[in-house]
Amino acid sequence: MAIQRTFSIIKPDATKRNLTGAVVAKLEEAGLRVVASKRIHMTKDQAEGFYAVHKERPFFGELVEFMISEPVVVQVLEGEDAVAKNREVMGATNPEEADAGTIRKEYALSIGENSVHGSDSLENAEIEINFFFKPEEIVG
Ligand code: ADP
Ligand code: MG
Protein backbone atom coordinates (compact mmCIF):
# COMPACT_ATOMS: atom_id res chain seq x y z
CA MET A 1 0.00 0.00 0.00
CA ALA A 2 1.01 3.56 -0.60
CA ILE A 3 -0.15 7.09 0.05
CA GLN A 4 -2.57 8.01 -2.72
CA ARG A 5 -4.79 10.92 -3.68
CA THR A 6 -8.38 10.49 -4.80
CA PHE A 7 -11.17 12.79 -5.89
CA SER A 8 -14.43 13.24 -3.99
CA ILE A 9 -17.63 15.23 -4.50
CA ILE A 10 -20.22 15.98 -1.83
CA LYS A 11 -23.29 15.94 -4.06
CA PRO A 12 -26.28 18.34 -4.14
CA ASP A 13 -28.59 16.18 -2.00
CA ALA A 14 -26.03 16.37 0.84
CA THR A 15 -25.12 20.07 0.53
CA LYS A 16 -28.83 20.93 0.42
CA ARG A 17 -29.46 19.06 3.69
CA ASN A 18 -26.47 20.72 5.40
CA LEU A 19 -24.55 17.42 5.60
CA THR A 20 -21.14 18.56 4.34
CA GLY A 21 -19.61 18.37 7.82
CA ALA A 22 -21.19 14.99 8.49
CA VAL A 23 -19.75 13.60 5.26
CA VAL A 24 -16.28 15.02 5.90
CA ALA A 25 -16.37 13.55 9.42
CA LYS A 26 -16.92 10.08 7.93
CA LEU A 27 -14.04 10.57 5.49
CA GLU A 28 -11.70 11.77 8.24
CA GLU A 29 -12.72 8.94 10.57
CA ALA A 30 -11.73 6.55 7.78
CA GLY A 31 -8.23 8.03 7.82
CA LEU A 32 -8.55 10.26 4.78
CA ARG A 33 -7.25 13.83 4.84
CA VAL A 34 -8.89 16.68 2.92
CA VAL A 35 -5.96 18.34 1.11
CA ALA A 36 -8.09 20.48 -1.23
CA SER A 37 -11.71 21.57 -1.05
CA LYS A 38 -14.00 24.10 -2.71
CA ARG A 39 -17.73 24.68 -2.84
CA ILE A 40 -18.87 25.32 -6.40
CA HIS A 41 -22.05 25.37 -8.41
CA MET A 42 -21.20 23.15 -11.40
CA THR A 43 -22.08 24.35 -14.86
CA LYS A 44 -23.87 22.04 -17.26
CA ASP A 45 -20.70 21.83 -19.36
CA GLN A 46 -18.66 20.80 -16.34
CA ALA A 47 -21.18 18.13 -15.28
CA GLU A 48 -21.45 16.73 -18.82
CA GLY A 49 -17.68 16.70 -19.18
CA PHE A 50 -17.04 15.15 -15.81
CA TYR A 51 -19.59 12.35 -16.38
CA ALA A 52 -18.85 11.90 -20.11
CA VAL A 53 -18.05 8.23 -19.49
CA HIS A 54 -21.76 7.73 -18.62
CA LYS A 55 -23.21 9.66 -21.56
CA GLU A 56 -24.78 6.60 -23.20
CA ARG A 57 -26.46 5.46 -19.99
CA PRO A 58 -30.21 6.06 -19.58
CA PHE A 59 -29.78 8.13 -16.43
CA PHE A 60 -27.20 10.56 -17.92
CA GLY A 61 -29.60 13.50 -18.36
CA GLU A 62 -31.04 13.02 -14.88
CA LEU A 63 -27.53 12.77 -13.41
CA VAL A 64 -26.36 16.01 -15.04
CA GLU A 65 -29.51 17.90 -13.96
CA PHE A 66 -29.07 16.63 -10.41
CA MET A 67 -25.39 17.61 -10.25
CA ILE A 68 -26.17 21.21 -11.29
CA SER A 69 -29.27 21.55 -9.10
CA GLU A 70 -27.47 22.83 -5.98
CA PRO A 71 -23.86 23.53 -4.98
CA VAL A 72 -21.39 20.69 -4.53
CA VAL A 73 -18.11 20.39 -2.64
CA VAL A 74 -15.22 19.07 -4.73
CA GLN A 75 -12.33 17.66 -2.73
CA VAL A 76 -9.00 15.92 -2.97
CA LEU A 77 -8.50 13.24 -0.32
CA GLU A 78 -5.13 11.84 0.66
CA GLY A 79 -4.15 8.78 2.64
CA GLU A 80 -2.99 5.21 2.66
CA ASP A 81 -4.78 3.34 -0.15
CA ALA A 82 -7.06 6.38 -0.53
CA VAL A 83 -8.91 5.30 -3.69
CA ALA A 84 -10.18 2.03 -2.21
CA LYS A 85 -10.62 3.47 1.28
CA ASN A 86 -12.86 6.24 -0.03
CA ARG A 87 -14.97 3.77 -2.04
CA GLU A 88 -15.30 1.65 1.10
CA VAL A 89 -16.51 4.49 3.33
CA MET A 90 -18.85 5.73 0.57
CA GLY A 91 -20.68 2.40 0.31
CA ALA A 92 -22.46 0.86 -2.67
CA THR A 93 -23.96 3.10 -5.39
CA ASN A 94 -27.47 2.05 -4.34
CA PRO A 95 -27.90 3.00 -0.65
CA GLU A 96 -30.19 0.00 -0.15
CA GLU A 97 -27.18 -2.20 -0.90
CA ALA A 98 -24.65 -0.18 1.09
CA ASP A 99 -23.05 -1.57 4.26
CA ALA A 100 -24.03 -0.19 7.65
CA GLY A 101 -22.00 2.81 8.72
CA THR A 102 -21.14 3.94 5.19
CA ILE A 103 -21.93 7.45 3.97
CA ARG A 104 -24.48 6.27 1.44
CA LYS A 105 -26.23 3.96 3.90
CA GLU A 106 -26.57 6.75 6.43
CA TYR A 107 -27.26 9.72 4.19
CA ALA A 108 -28.12 8.86 0.57
CA LEU A 109 -31.69 9.32 -0.64
CA SER A 110 -31.65 7.04 -3.69
CA ILE A 111 -29.36 5.40 -6.27
CA GLY A 112 -29.19 8.74 -8.09
CA GLU A 113 -29.13 11.15 -5.14
CA ASN A 114 -26.45 9.25 -3.31
CA SER A 115 -24.57 12.03 -1.49
CA VAL A 116 -21.00 11.37 -2.69
CA HIS A 117 -18.82 10.68 -5.68
CA GLY A 118 -15.45 8.92 -5.42
CA SER A 119 -12.89 7.99 -8.07
CA ASP A 120 -12.96 4.29 -9.00
CA SER A 121 -9.24 3.92 -9.86
CA LEU A 122 -5.92 5.69 -9.31
CA GLU A 123 -5.84 6.59 -13.01
CA ASN A 124 -9.30 8.18 -12.91
CA ALA A 125 -8.45 9.92 -9.63
CA GLU A 126 -5.68 11.84 -11.36
CA ILE A 127 -7.90 12.76 -14.31
CA GLU A 128 -10.75 13.88 -12.01
CA ILE A 129 -8.47 15.88 -9.68
CA ASN A 130 -7.04 17.71 -12.70
CA PHE A 131 -10.57 18.40 -13.98
CA PHE A 132 -11.34 20.61 -10.96
CA PHE A 133 -8.05 21.62 -9.31
CA LYS A 134 -4.84 23.38 -10.23
CA PRO A 135 -1.73 21.91 -8.55
CA GLU A 136 -1.32 24.99 -6.32
CA GLU A 137 -4.83 24.50 -4.90
CA ILE A 138 -3.78 21.19 -3.36
CA VAL A 139 -2.02 22.01 -0.15
CA GLY A 140 -1.23 18.65 1.49
P1 ADP B 1 -20.57 5.29 -8.42
O2 ADP B 1 -20.91 6.73 -8.11
O3 ADP B 1 -20.85 4.38 -7.23
O4 ADP B 1 -19.18 5.11 -8.97
P5 ADP B 1 -21.55 4.91 -11.15
O6 ADP B 1 -20.20 5.38 -11.60
O7 ADP B 1 -22.06 3.61 -11.71
O8 ADP B 1 -21.61 4.80 -9.54
O9 ADP B 1 -22.65 6.01 -11.49
C10 ADP B 1 -22.36 7.38 -11.36
C11 ADP B 1 -23.53 8.06 -10.69
O12 ADP B 1 -24.68 8.00 -11.56
C13 ADP B 1 -24.03 7.41 -9.39
O14 ADP B 1 -23.28 7.76 -8.26
C15 ADP B 1 -25.45 7.93 -9.32
O16 ADP B 1 -25.50 9.28 -8.86
C17 ADP B 1 -25.87 7.89 -10.79
N18 ADP B 1 -26.52 6.61 -11.11
C19 ADP B 1 -25.96 5.40 -11.25
N20 ADP B 1 -26.86 4.45 -11.54
C21 ADP B 1 -28.06 5.08 -11.60
C22 ADP B 1 -29.39 4.67 -11.88
N23 ADP B 1 -29.68 3.38 -12.13
N24 ADP B 1 -30.38 5.60 -11.84
C25 ADP B 1 -30.10 6.91 -11.59
N26 ADP B 1 -28.86 7.37 -11.34
C27 ADP B 1 -27.85 6.48 -11.32
MG1 MG C 1 -18.36 5.83 -10.74
Give ∠ CA 78-80-83 in degrees, rounded to 5.
65
Distances from the Cα of 41 to the Cα of 19, 83, 89, 104, angstroms? 16, 24, 25, 22
pTM: 0.98
Short-list 89, 82, 74, 84, CA closest to 134: 74
Give the pLDDT score at 1. 74
Give the pLDDT score at 140. 82
**Is-catalytic flag, 54?**
no
Of the residues 117, 125, 128, 129, only one is catalytic, namely: 117
Give the pLDDT score at 17. 98
Q: At what angle do helices 82-90 and 122-132 cross, to 10 degrees?
A: 80
Short-list 16, 125, 139, CA closest to 70: 16
Q: Which of 56, 59, 70 to mutate to test the pocket of ligand 1 (most atoms within 8 A of CB)?
A: 59
